[in-house]
Amino acid sequence: MAVNIVKGTRDIIGEEANAFNYIENLLKQICELFAYNEVKPPVMEYSELFVRGVGEASDVVRKEMYTFLDKGDRSVTLRPEFTAGIMRLIIQNKLLATSELPVKSYYVGPVFRYERPQLGRYRQFTQFGVEAVGNDSPEIDVETIVLAYTILSSLNLDNVSVVINTIGDDESRLNYKNALKAYFAKYLDQMCPDCHTRYELNPLRILDCKVPDDQKIVAGAPKMKDYLSDAAKERFNKVLSLLDALEIPYVVDDTLVRGLDYYSETVYEFHYVSSNGNDYGAIGGGGHYGKLVKELGGPDVAGVGFSFGVDRLYSVLKDDGLLPEGLDNPIEIYVMPLGEASKSLAMQAASTLRLSGYRVDFCFEDVKLGNMFKRAERKGARFAVIIGENEVNNNEVIIKNLTSTEQITVPFDKLVSKICCEMGDECCDGECQCHKES
Ligand code: AMP
């Protein structure tokens, strides 16, 4: 019996795999414009990192981690998010001491969460994001928002709203948590068991509860904005005025708190509704974290970052017809050996063309010529290079333009220059004689 794929995971193949590459390459290019450098932490870390980093009150740590004992009885976890691992990487490699601050990093790779599989929600998915660590200014918060916004604009995702809020400094959050505790204490016996745990560990997390009856109670809860210290208000106003100056549109939502425990001050999400009305909710989000680096054993510095789900970016782009043409990776040239004796020369032809930068495929199966042409067409080839017994004997190749159907025979050593002229590439050095001929 065949073995199936693990529940909640999926295979990404063909055009979708190429679309992932297209998205990831574009994200990387934009990060580099903003002077962020790629980092590649390992997929697994000691479990303690996420318990301390992401927070034991978060759903991610309480219910969703892939945690197991390795053969040395150490508890390790497949990363459920990147931020904690990047903080560990920055601290362990002493990047804060040896680099200019902030240390600006970006990442892309798989993350694992044991969630209930459903449309757009997987147990392994790809996250892309950035972290800027070692600077506590409103400006760096705003730089990350501008970076994310630039990425979304470059992907032509115009129906995005930037939703932003502040969850304040330590003092504001302490006061707010106390107010939430006082409020929820009255309703706790009507609320779900999860909310009882949240109440004890971090009452802010109750605001994320998805149980409809609990949401009604949450609607009447105190609002963060009424517990902000003057300093937190001032900082947030600075963030908003910078966004105004940079003409980044946003919506302030005072119920936005984000699901991971390390956030403080500015938090934000990017929401998307596709042109056919599909509401994707948050396709990415992030925020400022004041204490995370210190809690993980590093210096007392702040950071800010966001992450996007690449799977979700792909669905949105696909849904709105915004993926570029040609993601099925058409080849340029199809090499067709006619018979056993021509395979060696045909392989040399393919090799020479590939080394000159052409995308070339080779017909490995012994099929009829007509079938080879059909394959060439399916693969999107513009030219066929045909090599039969005659060509082998004369050390020649046939080049057939599959659009005009014209064909020419050229000496093997003129293959590349002839193809180059036929493709209209600006590489002709006169060697091929094409320009003299015309
Ligand atoms: P978070 O780390 O929870 O803030 O998630 C950041 C982004 O990752 C979300 O906005 C989604 O785009 C994506 N994401 C989160 N969970 C999943 C999941 N289970 N499957 C696919 N994408 C996800």
**CA-based angle 194:200:206, to the nearest 5?**
50
Q: Where are the domains of the chain?
A: 14-169+229-319, 333-437
The alpha carbon of 108 and the centre of ligand 1 are apart by a number of angstroms equal to 13
Best residue among 261, 308, 314, 317 to mutate for probing ligand 1's pocket (most ligand atoms within 8 Å of CB) is: 308
The low-confidence residues of the chain, meaning pLDDT below 50, are 435-438
| pLDDT at residue 56, as a whole number | 86
| d(C-alpha 80, C-alpha 337), whole Å | 50
| pLDDT at residue 249, as a whole number | 95
φ, ψ of residue 42 in degrees (nearest 5): -65, 160
**Beta strands 383-387; 396-401: pairing state:** antiparallel
Is it true that 14-169+229-319 and 333-437 share their CATH fold? Answer: no
Residue with tokens 């009255």: 186
Q: Atom 18 (ligand 1): residue with closest C-alpha?
A: 121
Helix segments in 54-122, DSSP class H: 59-63, 83-92, 95-98
Find out if CATH 3.40.50.300 is the number for domain 14-169+229-319.
no
The alpha carbon of 284 and the centre of ligand 1 are apart by a number of angstroms equal to 7
The pLDDT tens digits of the residues spanning 348-388 come to 999 999 999 999 999 999 999 999 999 999 999 999 999 99
Atom of ligand 1 nearest to the CA of 60: 3
**CA-based angle 30:31:34, to the nearest 5?**
90
Atom of ligand 1 nearest to the CA of 307: 6
Atom of ligand 1 nearest to the CA of 113: 19
The pLDDT tens digits of the residues spanning 141-170 come to 999 999 999 999 999 998 899 999 999 999
Give the end-to-end CA distance of the chain in Å, rounded to a whole number: 63
Q: Hey, what CATH topology would domain 333-437 get?
A: Rossmann fold (3.40.50)
Q: Which burial class, exposed, middle or buried, applies to 141 when counting CB atoms under 10 A from its CB (0-12, 13-18, 19+)?
A: buried
Atom of ligand 1 nearest to the CA of 313: 12
The alpha carbon of 126 and the centre of ligand 1 are apart by a number of angstroms equal to 8
The pLDDT tens digits of the residues spanning 312-351 come to 999 999 999 999 988 888 899 999 999 999 999 999 999 9
136, 105 Cβ separation under 8 angstroms:
no
Can you name the residues that pair with 273 across neighbouring β-strands?
279
Best residue among 27, 307, 317 to mutate for probing ligand 1's pocket (most ligand atoms within 8 Å of CB) is: 307
Atom of ligand 1 nearest to the CA of 282: 10
**Is the model's pTM score more than 0.85?**
yes
Q: Atom 9 (ligand 1): residue with closest C-alpha?
A: 284
269, 285 Cβ separation under 8 angstroms:
yes
